[in-house]
């Protein structure tokens, strides 16, 4: 199908002029003339009566234009619509609420200033991003270096070390060394894997604490630690405020480094320019771009 020529034809008919059609199409008048000559040669009939005072379609041209004009309008509308929805579609971001609260929220204002013009749609979950949902573009997940998936980038924000209420450092069951944890409550996420790994690092893999409590949400878990509920594993760089204010303390100088936040973006989501921008911004902010 001589699509380009048909578009040129349609444009010429609308403008009744090669010159104006050329300028709409962003090409020279010569290009349009060539296109129309080719189309007429191809079809073997005259589509236009040319004159200096405007171009008028021949009977054949008129008939062809009825359908071609409609078709081109359809295409234009369809493209505009799809581009518009795409332009205004929010970038779907799954992000752990802790990272959202402690890292992202403080930086987001600056991001809006530098990249206005698109929306972000946040959802919070600890599970891996469900990218079968086409509206999810980016996920920030928590992985140890060797279990992180293919399409992820280590944001180098991470590490786990126990944190507790400052009161835990004194008194009867004061935390002097890791084995003292035996008489304390351990605050877990959904399982005890991380604590197990830290305890292994501390040389006491078998340690069994007084009690285990599970808080899916890290913000809540840390609040529980802050209130003296027990000892939670924390990422120090994310809770500088609480540490600075003395609300939480780190009893041991021993950090499990292997865990960190990872940016997960399937390659096919990067065709969304807004998603690409946001993803790049995060990497830049973390100094891993």
Tell me if 63 contacts a second copy by CB under 8 A.
Answer: yes
User: Residue 54 or 166: which CB sits closer to DNA?
Assistant: 54
How far is 140 from 222, CA to CA, in rounded Å?
19
* Binders in 245-274 for DNA, by CB under 7 A: 267
Residue positions counted in the chain: 289
Nearest C-alpha neighbor of 122 from the set 106, 101, 142? 101
Report the residue from 56, 208, 210, 271 that binds a second copy according to the rule CB under 8 A: 271
Nearest C-alpha neighbor of 216 from the set 195, 187, 243, 241? 187
From the list a second copy, DNA, none, partner contacted by residue 182 (C-beta under 5 to 8 A by kind): none
How far is 98 from 104, CA to CA, in rounded Å?
9
User: Residue 1 or 109: which CB sits closer to a second copy?
Assistant: 1
Tell me if 218 contacts DNA by CB under 7 A.
Answer: no
What is the DSSP pairing of strand 91-95 with strand 138-144? parallel
φ, ψ at 197 (rounded to 5°): -65, -40
From the list a second copy, DNA, none, partner contacted by residue 180 (C-beta under 5 to 8 A by kind): none
Nearest C-alpha neighbor of 201 from the set 143, 260, 261, 259? 259
Tell me if 104 contacts DNA by CB under 7 A.
Answer: no
Tell me if 46 contacts a second copy by CB under 8 A.
Answer: yes
Interface positions with a second copy (CB under 8 A) = 1, 3-4, 6-7, 40-41, 43-46, 58-60, 63-64, 66-68, 70-72, 74-79, 81-83, 85-86, 134, 268, 271-273
């Amino acid at each position: 199908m001589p699509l380009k020529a048909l578009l040129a034809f349609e444009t010429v008919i609308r403008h009744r002029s090669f010159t104006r059609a050329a300028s709409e199409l962003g090409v020279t008048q010569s290009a349009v003339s060539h296109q129309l000559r080719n189309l007429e040669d191809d079809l073997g009939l005259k589509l236009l009566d040319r004159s200096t005072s405007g171009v008028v379609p021949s009977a054949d041209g008129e008939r062809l234009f009825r359908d071609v004009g409609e078709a081109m309008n359809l295409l234009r509308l369809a493209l505009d619509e799809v581009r518009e929805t795409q332009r205004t579609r929010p970038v779907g971001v799954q992000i752990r609420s802790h990272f959202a609260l402690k890292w992202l929220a403080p930086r987001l204002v600056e991001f809006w200033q530098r990249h206005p013009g698109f929306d972000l749609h946040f959802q919070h979950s600890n599970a891996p991003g469900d990218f079968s949902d086409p509206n999810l573009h980016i996920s920030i997940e928590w992985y140890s270096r060797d279990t992180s998936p293919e399409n992820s980038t280590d944001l180098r924000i991470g590490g786990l070390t126990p944190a507790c209420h400052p009161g835990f450092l004194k008194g009867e069951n004061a935390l002097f060394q890791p084995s003292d944890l035996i008489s304390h409550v351990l605050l877990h996420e959904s399982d005890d894997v991380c604590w197990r790994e830290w305890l292994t690092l501390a040389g006491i893999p078998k340690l069994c604490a007084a009690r285990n409590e599970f808080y899916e949400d890290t913000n809540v878990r840390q609040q529980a630690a802050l209130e003296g509920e027990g000892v939670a594993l924390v990422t120090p760089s994310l809770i500088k405020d609480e540490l600075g204010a003395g609300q939480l303390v780190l009893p041991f100088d021993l950090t499990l480094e292997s865990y960190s936040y990872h940016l997960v973006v399937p390659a096919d989501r990067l065709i969304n320019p807004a998603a690409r921008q946001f993803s790049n911004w995060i990497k830049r902010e973390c100094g891993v771009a």
